[in-house]
Structure 1
Amino acid sequence: MKRNIVIATVAALALAGGGTATALAATGDDDSSAAAKKSSVQLKDDNRDNDRDDDRHDDRDNDQDDAKENSAEAKAAKVTAADAIKAALADKSGTAVSAELDDEDNGGLVWDVDILGKGSTWHSVQVDPGTGKVLGSHTEQDEDGDANRVAAALKGASTNAEDAAKAAAAKGTVTSVDLDDDGTAKAWDAETASGKGAESDWKVDLQSGKVTADKSDSHDDNDSDDDDSDDDGSDD
């Protein structure tokens, strides 16, 4: 339910389509000009794109690089996910649906917070992870029915996004909170990073706020490994 991804996709289509998608990107009250403000948290380039001498170690090196990047981002963010959500809601009224710590192309680190406002209006708010100040925002109208699905998922819920972020913080540094409204078990998805950058996925119950480990990702990884094994065997 990360609406910022949708917004970025629309913007990319506008460039690729020679203006065809420009009208879509401009739908609603667009105050994205304020998003030009630079984040106070700038990440250093660790030359992660350098060629490796031995291709056999690529996966291992990439995993180490990812963990190093996750650790750097988590440590650099002085503002928690819960505080970022609070700041975003102070700027745009509505219901917070997701918050994600995101590194931009210019090296800046920001919190992207998605808020469902009145009349099926979506706000994507960028919050500085160093100061907690709002850097900018983008507004668009719902066109794919996400608003109705979100409203149905949150109907009667006792745990909001800020509550979920606070609950998951007991497991590590929260780097994202997102509404899981696709499964039968309604919950918040939360991701945390340890001091060494290891990522963990959690489910936060919409009613009780109880935090449990999310086993679905590890299960998918195991299935992928099994498929690879089967493919290797079939080639013999």
Structure 2
Amino acid sequence: MKRNIVIASVAVAALVGGGTATALAVTGDGNAPGKQSSVRATDDDRNDRDDRDDSADDDRNDRDDDKADRADDAADAKAAKVSAADAITTALKSVQGTAVSAELDDEGSSLVWDVDVLSSGGAWHSVRIDPGTGKVLGSHTEQEDADDTAQARAALKGSSVTAVEAARAAAAKGTVTAVELDDDSRTSAWDVETTASNGAEKDWKVDLKSAAVTADTSSDDNSDDDGSDD
């Protein structure tokens, strides 16, 4: 669900004497590289251990992998002690603006809440929140297309429901693992993804004005989750 955003700033240090150049990523806000999360992501590499070519086993392997993936998703959702709503609230205390999206994401071997904030001046900020402690791990400025920025602003202007409120509204359906503004003028809403205790994922639409939660019928995932909301 994350919008495609390009990190704006990379500092390059060239060691001329040795003929070697080293690239060092820095945050666009001028901060040092962020701290590491206290929550480890579930290791799903084991899902790839059995990669046999025997067609008779392929279906069974696919089912096993799908079951393992759901178990991983459930474990990651459970490991996040900080809710989406609380992560967004913390991010907005760190960076002034309007939250446009939040996602529980694996960053290497760790889990983080990645919250996108649009400032009043039009700058985009990505704020990383520790899902275990709720502390800010770091942030950086990002660059977004001007048209997309204008579209997001237009959708937010007509909204009386914030990302925090959307996350809280959808929490009754399961553990919220992603929130994003759908700024399409025809379907403007908050897109929210929840993960059930069995790892099943569902997508929801939260109305920008009433906070009413409805199933996202455009998502193929919803038809595969056996209708489980918990």
Structure 1: which 4+ aligned runs deviate by more than 4 Å?
219-222
Deviation of 1:102 (Å): 0.2
Q: Residue type matched to 2:41 in 1?
A: L
The answer to whether 1:31 aligns with 2:33 is no
Aligned equivalents of 2:187, 2:148: Cα separation in 1 = 18
Trace 1:144-163 onto structure 2 (pairs within 5 A): 144-163=146-165
* Gap regions ≥5 residues in structure 1: 15-21, 223-236
Query: 1:45 is aligned with what amino acid?
Result: D
Q: 1:105-127: CA deviations, max 9, x gaps? A: 2x100000000013210000000
Judging changes above 3 Å, is the alpha-carbon distance between structure 1 residues 32 and 101 closer, same or farther for their aligned structure 2 residues? farther
Task: Give the structure 1 partner of residue 101 of structure 2.
Answer: 98
Could you say which residue in structure 1 is the equivalent of 2:214? Answer: 212
Q: Is the 8 A contact 1:85 1:113 kept in 2?
A: yes
What CA distance in whole angstroms lies between the structure 2 residues aligned with 1:49 and 1:122? 36
| Greater percentage in helix | 1
Partner of 1:175: 177
Distance 1:215-1:44 versus aligned 2 partners, 3 A rule: closer
Name the aligned partner's letter for residue 43 of structure 2. Answer: D
Q: Does 1:127 align with 2:129?
A: yes
Per the alignment, residue 232 of structure 1 pairs with none
**For 1:45, which of 35, 43, 55 is the aligned residue?**
43
Residue pair 1:110, 1:128 contacting (<8 A) in 2 also: yes
Which residue identity is paired with 2:2? K
Q: Is the 8 A contact 2:42 2:75 kept in 1?
A: no
Asked if the contact 2:105/2:114 (under 8 Å) is kept, the reply is: yes
User: C-alpha displacement at 1:219, in angstroms?
Assistant: 8.8
**Which one has a larger percent strand, Structure 1 or Structure 2?**
2
1:60 to 2:63 alignment: yes
How many residue pairs align between the two structures? 207
Deviations 1:169-222 (A, max 9, x none): 010000000001125121100000111110011000000000000010129989
Shift in CA distance, 220/101, structure 1 to aligned 2, threshold 3 Å = closer
Aligned to 1:227: none
* Aligned equivalents of 1:220, 1:87: Cα separation in 2: 30
Per the normalisation by structure 1, the TM-score is 0.79
Flag the 1:219–1:126 CA change in 2: closer, same or farther, 3 A: closer
Q: 2:15 matched to which residue of 1?
A: none
Partner of 1:187: 189
Identity of aligned residues (%): 56
Q: CA deviation at 1:7?
A: 2.9
Name the SS for the 1:118 alignment partner: coil
Shift of 1:56: 2.7
Kindly state the Cα deviation for residue 55 of structure 1 after the two structures are TM-superposed: 2.0
The residue identity in structure 1 corresponding to 2:61 is D
Q: Give 5+ residue unaligned stretches, structure 2.
A: 13-22, 225-230
User: What CA distance in whole angstroms lies between the structure 2 residues aligned with 1:220 and 1:66?
Assistant: 16
AA of the residue aligned to 1:42: R
